């Protein structure tokens, strides 16, 4: 795209976006038109759905879009360029040093909220998010269920800083505060005061097998500590299952996201911890994506 340096010049927006999408497609970006529109919307400070209402833009804005498209073509994650990633009804600040929430996790979130809806509790529901990263699941649940008492655990100090930033932002927006902890989810004493009290435990832990081939956006920009779960992808989940079993109250439930090769492995781990009603769930591409289980009401 050739952009005049004359600030007064007006540039048609739609042809610019189409050209940007072509550039991104050539670079191997998986969703070139969506990404081009998101970058244009970010530069203009509008929602993507409002781009059709803006036929012309100034050359300075066109230059900003052009620069961000070049960065995206270099496979810098879209979310690092816009500075946010959504989960549920919450927009989370993300960037270098923290895992970028994925759309697949929306299904786990929906299951978790549906489970809470079915619980006739006489108390505020207690929710624990293990490996919270940016705070995504914890904050999305707290937003949807302002009556919930939400706790979130993260070991990595960089990710925890992002989680605190997002938690502060959600408080400013009027959401119920969550409680953040620095801790190892595989340790025997993490959030020990919640033992046998949690109504729901959710987790999107590091679960990718070490030999997996990843897109550049992931391999070069997501922190490896947030991605890899040992040779088979189950190291963190294997160590985390005893924590989940300890935290759940009788009748409580858990949902764990996993690599699409490991649904059966996660189900087996939960069954071995004496959890029941173990169920495997697929994502919108029909790939195994998360497993749920319950602690028996009588145990």
Distance between terminal CA atoms of the chain?
65
* Residues 296 and 259 sit within 8 Å (Cβ to Cβ): no
Binding residues: 154, 204-207
Q: Which two tokens stand for residue 216?
A: 């550049």
User: CB within 8 A of 101, min separation 6: which ones?
Assistant: 85, 86, 87, 92, 94, 133, 134, 136, 204
H-helix segments, 7-77: 13-26, 32-44, 59-73
* Residues 155 and 182 sit within 8 Å (Cβ to Cβ): yes
Q: Which two tokens stand for residue 38?
A: 């998101």
Binding residues for S-adenosyl-L-methionine: 154, 204
Binding residues for substrate: 204-207
* Residues 78 and 53 sit within 8 Å (Cβ to Cβ): no
Three-class secondary structure of residue 206 per DSSP: coil
């Amino acid at each position: 795209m050739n952009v005049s340096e004359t600030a007064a010049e007006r540039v048609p927006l739609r042809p610019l976006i189409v050209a940007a999408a072509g550039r991104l497609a050539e670079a191997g970006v998986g969703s070139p038109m969506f990404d081009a529109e998101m970058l244009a919307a970010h530069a203009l400070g509008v929602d993507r759905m409002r781009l059709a209402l803006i036929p012309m833009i100034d050359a300075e804005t066109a230059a900003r879009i052009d620069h961000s498209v070049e960065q995206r073509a270099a496979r810098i994650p879209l979310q690092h360029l816009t500075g946010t990633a959504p989960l549920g009804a919450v927009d989370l600040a993300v960037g270098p040093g923290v895992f970028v929430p994925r759309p697949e996790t929306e299904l786990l979130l929906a299951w978790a909220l549906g489970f809470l809806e079915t619980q006739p509790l006489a108390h505020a529901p207690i929710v624990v998010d293990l490996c919270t990263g940016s705070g995504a699941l914890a904050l999305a649940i707290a937003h949807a269920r302002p009556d919930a008492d939400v706790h979130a655990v993260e070991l990595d100090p960089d990710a925890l800083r992002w989680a605190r930033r997002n938690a502060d932002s959600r408080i400013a927006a009027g959401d119920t505060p969550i409680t953040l902890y620095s801790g190892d989810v595989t340790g025997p004493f993490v959030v020990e005061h919640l033992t046998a009290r949690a109504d729901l435990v959710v987790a999107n832990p590091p679960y990718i097998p070490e030999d997996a081939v990843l897109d550049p956006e992931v391999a070069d920009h997501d922190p490896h500590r947030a991605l890899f779960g040992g040779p088979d992808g189950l190291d963190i989940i294997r160590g985390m299952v005893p924590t989940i079993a300890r935290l759940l109250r009788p009748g409580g439930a858990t949902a764990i996201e996993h690599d699409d090769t490991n649904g059966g492995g996660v189900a087996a781990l939960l069954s071995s911890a004496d959890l029941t009603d173990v169920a495997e769930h697929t994502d919108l591409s029909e790939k195994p994506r998360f497993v749920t289980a319950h602690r028996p009401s009588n145990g």
